[in-house]
């Protein structure tokens, strides 16, 4: 099965991204989404992935269980394009990025995920700058870190 959209999602108390010293996106409580796209991805893949992200319940309820979505938790998203999620180090010591989509494919899908996340969850989706050198600062809350892959959206759930 081909690789698909991937993300590392971190629950944070605050986060920001800078490009050339300027803050391009900042949030308080919420989720930082490091997002990678590969060649086979389509707008439909990006849409399903955004739906999955928007529906995550990773904030604690009154009983201390992860059962609350981002909107109910009063959070926002900070989404950063991250082609290095497709770095392959199986051969040698230098990563190969041949599985990462070129910018002409990746950027529109990254933008689609960002737009849909905000619309579906009803919260802000701050962003980095696609293709730029970025400095990302965050305070992981929990820590809670999840790895999502759109291949998992198509796999049957275990009983």
Look up the CATH number of the domain holding residue 64.
3.50.80.10
The residue annotated as part of the active site, out of 38, 49, 59, 83, is 83
The residue annotated as part of the active site, out of 10, 38, 45, 82, is 82
Domain range for 65 is 6-151
The residue annotated as part of the active site, out of 84, 97, 98, 145, is 84
35 in a structural domain:
yes
In the predicted model, is pLDDT for residue 75 greater than 90? Answer: yes
Its pTM stands at 0.91
82 is annotated as an active-site residue: yes
In the predicted model, is pLDDT for residue 1 greater than 50? Answer: no
156 in a structural domain:
no
Could you tell me whether strands 57-60 and 66-69 are parallel, antiparallel, or unpaired per DSSP bridges? antiparallel
Q: How many helices (H) and strands (E) does the chain have?
A: 3, 8
Q: Do 150 and 4 touch, CB atoms closer than 8 A? A: yes
Main-chain phi, psi angles of 151, to 5 degrees: -60, -30
1 in a structural domain:
no
In the predicted model, is pLDDT for residue 157 greater than 70? Answer: no
10 is annotated as an active-site residue: no
In the predicted model, is pLDDT for residue 6 greater than 70? Answer: yes
- In this prediction, residues 29-53 reach a mean pLDDT of 93
159 in a structural domain:
no
């Amino acid at each position: 099965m081909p690789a698909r959209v991937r993300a590392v999602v971190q629950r944070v108390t605050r986060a920001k991204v800078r490009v050339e010293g300027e803050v391009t996106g900042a949030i308080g409580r919420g989720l930082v989404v490091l997002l990678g796209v590969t060649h086979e991805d389509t707008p439909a893949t990006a849409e399903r992935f955004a739906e999955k992200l928007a529906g995550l319940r990773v904030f604690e309820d009154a009983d201390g269980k992860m059962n609350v979505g981002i909107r109910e938790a009063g959070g926002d998203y900070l989404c950063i394009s991250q082609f290095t999620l497709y770095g392959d180090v199986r051969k040698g010591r230098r990563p190969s990025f041949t599985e990462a989509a070129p910018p002409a494919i990746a950027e529109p899908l990254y933008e689609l995920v960002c737009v849909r996340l905000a619309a579906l969850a009803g919260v802000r989706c701050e962003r980095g700058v696609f293709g730029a050198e970025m400095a990302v600062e965050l305070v992981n809350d929990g820590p809670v870190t999840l790895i999502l892959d759109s291949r998992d959206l198509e796999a049957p759930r275990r009983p």
